[in-house]
Structure formats: structure tokens, C-alpha cells
Structure 1
Amino acid sequence: MVSVKDVAVAAGVSVGTVSNVLNHPDKVSPATVQRVQQVIAELGFVRNDAARQLRAGRSRSIGLVVLDVGNPFFAEVARGAEQRAAEENLVVLLGGADQSPERESAYLDLFREQRVLGVLITPVSDDLAALRRLDAAGIPVILVDREMPEESFRSVSVDDVEGGYLAVSHLLERGRRRIAVVAGPASIPQVADRLEGARRAVAEHSDATLEVIEVAALTVLEGREVGERIRLAQDRPDAVFAVNDLLAVGVLQALAFAGSGVRVPEDVALIGYDDIDFAASTVVPLSSIRQPARMLGRTAVDLLLAEPEGAGERTIRYRPELVVRESTAGVSAN
């Protein structure tokens, strides 16, 4: 590999001059900068940024670990984090845990080896031992879409209990009384919180019932399978709350195809969670609970930048918002 010394020899300048051209070009005459840059281009020199960061004691990289990179919600979180990081001349390294503790651990080990500036993470489980080790090693950790008041980590989240309550309260207000909640895996705290909110809403209506349909993953395919079961059921629910929009889209695909015999929302009202971009474009536009996904990512970076000085808030919680579209806005059930 071409070294700084090779560039200096070819350009007829000192190693220190090459370093100034790379890092402080204002300290070098324009003619020398042009000559050194021309040699860099001719030799194909690429500086070792990792080594430079190591010497400086500060990384320009932030690690971000999310539950599922295939979920548009987390893509928006990552986009917000990247936008805010770019404003500070930082980069975000993204890893998807795929709801696996082992994959999450592998990414955390990699980020520790890379000596990242900090880690933003939506934890897979309540076992935060690996995060505590990172924090003890001087790599701050920010919880994203998750709040754990008993822990020392800063966090930014959305009130998912309120979100679940909003979703099911809306269905109840539409006159629906046989509510099904498509939820799972139960080990994901956000899922448990949304289910808790749903139960609180149903508890306020003595004539309402709630059925929990557990799924193995928060995917369109799982939602489609649930939707098919609902379509064929003798005593189907009159409303469905899916704990994320991907599940809701799958349920909708099974219920709303031509010849299914089930009308959305007349026969079955349907609401999702996250309000991903695709929710407004489904065959029956999908009602959902909106989370400020991009703001979560931006705020997480702000919390990380404030961590060394201990400044600012330690816990930020946003409120979810009900977005009503055609999948629940039809005629009320009798």
C-alpha cells in the first residue's frame, strides 16, 4: 500500500507537509497543496482513517443496532440518525439483529473492536449485560425506541402503552367489540407494551372481548397467515389491531383480495402501528399509530453527543399519534 512517506518522496516535500495537506490544508501554500494532491491521485494513496482516529482518541463512527433492518420503521430511524450524524461529520454503521441475541452480541463486539464513538441500540431483550460492558469500556450507549428508567443509559422512546390504547380505543369507538390483537414475539418489550395498552382499552368496555393471536415474527408473511385464518373463521373478530404495519399489511392482503367474502372495514376493521410510508398506499389505506421514527434517530444522536458532558435530558419519550384512514373509517359495526 502507498504510504504517506511515499507521497512525500514523490512530491518532494516532508511527511509533515503531506499530513498538513490532508488535515490542515490552510497551513500549506496552494501550489504545494495542488502538487501533493496530484501525487496522491497518481499513486492512489488512501489514508488509514482508522489509525488516525485511534491516535486522535476519537472515532467518527456511531454504531446503530436495530431489531429488523427490513422493517421500514427502523429504516426511518436509521435515516434520521444518519442525517443528524452527517451534520457533525460523523457516520453511522448499521447492524440488524433480526430479533436474535446472538446477532446483536456479534454487532456489539464488532463496534467495540472498531472503537466507535458510541452505540445506539434497540435491545432484543432485557439482558443488558453486554451494553453495560460497553459503557464501562468508555463507549456510551443510547437506547432507541426503548426506555428503562432503572438503568443508567440515556434513552429516546415512544409511549407504546399509550399507542396500544389509542389503537384499540379507536376500534371500540367505531362500535367494534370483538377485538383481535395480532402480536408477537412476546419477548419484544414494545410488543408487550402495545398489548398492555390494548387490554387497558378493552377493560373500559364490559361488552368487549380481546383475543390475542400470537405470531413468531413481525412480518407481512406472518400477517397474511393470520389474515387467512381470520377469513375462514366461523366467528371472526369484527376488528383487528396488528402491533406493527407489516403484520397489518399481511392481514389486509388476506382479507381484501377479490372473492374473499370479507370487506374491510365493513366486516373487519383493521389498524396497524408505526405508520410506515406504505400504509397510505395499500389496497384499503391503512389506519395506524404514527411514531416519529426519523426524530427518534436524530434525538438518539443528540443524546450521544451530549453524553460526555453529562448535559441535557437523560430520558426523552414521544407520544404516538392516531392516523385514521379507510381501513377503520367505514360504517360502524352494529
Structure 2
Amino acid sequence: HLREGTKADTATPQPVTTACSDDLQTDLTNANSRITQLESLNETLLSSATSLEDTNTQLLTQTTSLQTQIITLQSQFNAIKQQANAAKAAMKEKAASLSEMQLEIDLVTKSAVTANTRAQEISVNARNLRGDRRKVEELETKVGALTEWAIASADAKSLAVERNKELEAKVMELVPLDGDGDNDVPGSPHRKKAQRKSSIIGNMVVEEIGLTSNSTMKSSKDTNECKLWTKSSSMVVGAGNIESFVVELGQHDVLNTSGGAETVLLLRWRFDITPSDMDIEFSVLKGRCGNDDKSKQKTADCLIKKRTVVGGGGGEISGAFAIQNACTLLWSNAHSWIRPRTIKFTVEAVTVLSM
């Protein structure tokens, strides 16, 4: 057949062969272009396949790592789940123990309220008991102080009685000195030479022997002293109190001079404290500064100011009678809270002749 076609082709005219060649050439060209396109597409597909293989490899790697992470996370999740279950169990136990503790707290609170109520009652009773004990202690202290005061008062009373007896004896000795037979006549001038004065001031008993005749003054040969008078007394100075004793010179002529001698007036004192181991503050003030005038005691001139004396003491001083012809002895027990002091004292007015 081909041969026949070939023969036919050779038998046909030349223009038909040229047209077929052109068609074939066109088809060939198209086929070549098609092949070229297919080859380019093949190359593109190959490159895409290569990139897809690389991407697939990366995805496989990522998938493997993700699977590994999933396994790890799963194990962690299981561990956390176990911990959560354990925590839930612990929370349940703690909730149960908390409820038990709450019950105990409620019971303790009720007990505490009851105990507080009882404690308040006990505190009130204890406060009252403490107050009663304090009152008892105060009363015991007062009883002790009153006992000491009574003892001191008894001592002062016994001293006053003894002093009274001594003064009576002195009066009996002085009365026979009047040799004119006027001893028993009331108002006799010789009778007036011996005068006895007794005065009671508070808890103080004062006895005084006053001699108005210069002939009855006893003069010492060695010291040229003339004793004008002597006063003895006692007093009880209570705890926290201040007691005073006003000493008055009286009507005595002490300004006489003899042969150019000058007369010096001295105040002598001595006192004892009972109890003997206690102390007291002693002062000598100019003028009259009795217990009725406390402000004057603060402003008066002091010859001796608040001298602390233990057991007792004595001394002498001049110029004591410069104001109001008197002076004041002051004993202060203000620093003591409980114990009183008993003071037994003697004061003398003495004139001394200084050449």
C-alpha cells in the first residue's frame, strides 16, 4: 500500500507534495515545540517532586519530633494527673481534718468564753480580796504606828510625871529659903520668888522654874556662867508631821556689864530620840513660829536649818532671842511614812561673861 501510495505520490503532480511537506513540517515543528514544552514541564515536575520530597522529609522529621513531644507531654500529663489525684486525696483529708479542727475550735471557743467569764469573776474577787488585804495591811500599819504612838505617849507621860516630882521637890527646897516667916502667906514677895508654871500644849507638857531674884542665880566659878532657867519637855512627832516648841526668854536683865565684861546670852539644848536608831530633821528659828503659822516657819530666819540628827544631839547658839525675845525649836518627821518619833529635850538660857 505504501508502495502504491508512493507510486501515487510520484504519479501526482509536484504542488501536492509540497503542501504535504509543509503540513508535516508544521506538525513536526508543533511536535518539537510540544516536546520542548513537555520537557520543560517535566523539568518543572522533577524540581517540584524534589522540593516535595525535601518538604516531605522535613515534615517527617517534624512529625517524628512532634510524636516524641506528644509522648513526653503524655507522660507528663499522666504524672500531673497522678499528682492532681494525690492532691485531691490530700485536700479531701485536709478538709476532713479541717472540719474536725473547726469542731474542736468551736468547743475550745465555748470553753474559752466560759473560762473568761470565770476569770473575770475570779479577777473581781481577787481585786476585792487584794483591796481587803491592802486595807488589812494599812490597818496593821496604823495599829503598829498607834502602838508606837501609845508607847511614846506613855514615855512622855512618865517623863512629865517624873519632871513634876522633881519640880515639886525643887519648890519644896526653895520655899525654906524664905526666912521671914512669910512662907505660908499668899501673895508674899518671897513666895513670888519661886514660881511654878505648868502648861499642856497638845501632847506637850512643859514645866518651868522661873527665878526673878539675881541672888538665886548660880554662877560657876570657872566659866562665869549664869543659868537663867531650864525647861524640859517631851513630844511625839507623828509620821509626816512637823512639831515645834517656842522658847521665850522671859523677863530677865541680861545686859548688865561688870568691869568692862560683856554679857553673851546663849541657848543650850539637848534632846534624845526614841527609837534611838531613828533620825529627825532639827531646826532653830528666830522669833515665835508655832504650829499655827506654817507660812512663818518657811520665811523665818534660821539659825540651824534642817539638820539631820540620829538618836539625839545637843549644842548651844547665840542670838537666838534677837527677834521677839523668843526662838522656835522645830522637829520635822515629814520624811517618815509610818513610824513616829518621841523627842525628850531640855533647853537652857545661859549668860556668859566675856572679858
TM (normalized to structure 2)? 0.23
